Amino acid sequence: MPLTNFTSLLLRLLLLTTTTVFANAAATPSVQTLNTHELFNPKLPPRTLSSNKKFEGSSNLVDLRYHMGPVLSSSPINIYLIWYGKWAAPQKLLITDFIHSISAAPSASSSPSVAEWWRTVSLYTDQTGANVSRSVVVAGQYSDMKYSQGNHLTRLSVQQVIASAVRSAPFPVDHKHGVYLILTSEEVTVQDYCRAVCGFHYFTFPSMVGYTLPYAWLGNSGKQCPEVCAYPFAVPRQQA
């Protein structure tokens, strides 16, 4: 999958993570389940959105279902990158540059830009009126090149990857300001990947990681299913 397509999916996943992930955490379910938010193939039947505006974001420019939880409003939003598997240096550079461009200063010569689009995202508020932060930074990076959880991950073992990164101390516990982003390389397979999902976001279970942390996962589908999980074939359900 060309990394330009990968970054398109990454941007959409970050949007969903910053605006919806803690809504589920706020519910504090008595049973821990993985009802993750997903990127999917639009050929599947879409879910319907509520017609009640209180369940949507404050912007009419993009339709997002709002689950009445807080958004990531602290500035900056810290992105903690976990590179799982074998990623080449140019690939890492392209993705980190892309994340940095979210908060780039506006420039007439580069319009339209990712930063302009993210300013639209910042129109979204939670119940307290707090907006999604406009500032997004790469606060840390961790490489798991030895496949600590093997070359096939389940949705639960993805959380173990985060636990390894936190326990080995390259990352702080940043549950208020951070998003932990796991990127799996093209040789790593993930439960339901290419068959039902292209990416997802959720929050970690304290029983597994020790903390409740917002996280997102996205895989490089270059060799496994570029015809399924490369943009524009895969889009968030809210944008289908």
pLDDT tens track for 10-68: 776 676 677 654 444 444 433 444 455 555 544 444 444 334 344 334 445 556 677 77
Q: Are 18 and 132 in contact (CB under 8 A)?
A: yes
Distance CA 90, CA 127 (A): 41
| CA-based radius of gyration for the chain | 17
pLDDT surpasses 60 at 184:
yes
Q: Read off the pLDDT band of 75 (50, 70, 90).
A: confident
**Lowest-confidence segment of 43-47, 68-72, 106-110, 122-126 by average pLDDT:** 43-47
> What is the per-residue pLDDT for 53?
41
Looking at the DSSP bridge assignments, the partners of residue 180 are 80, 215
Q: Could you tell me whether strands 77-84 and 214-219 are parallel, antiparallel, or unpaired per DSSP bridges?
A: unpaired
Q: What is the mean pLDDT of residues 139-162?
A: 95
Distance CA 95, CA 38 (A): 20
For the question of whether the overall pTM of this predicted structure is more than 0.85, the answer is: no
117 three-class SS: helix
Q: Read off the pLDDT band of 226 (50, 70, 90).
A: confident
pLDDT surpasses 70 at 155:
yes
Residue % of the chain over a pLDDT of 70 = 69
Question: Among residues 217, 198, 197, which one has the least CA distance to residue 157?
Answer: 217
Residue 21: exposed, middle, or buried by beta-carbon count in 10 A (0-12, 13-18, 19+)? buried
83 three-class SS: strand
Q: Are 169 and 111 in contact (CB under 8 A)?
A: no
Terminus-to-terminus CA distance in the chain, angstroms? 21
Distance CA 176, CA 72 (A): 7
> What is the per-residue pLDDT for 29?
38
Find the DSSP H helices in the chain.
3-27, 89-101, 114-121, 155-167, 206-209, 226-229
pLDDT surpasses 90 at 74:
no
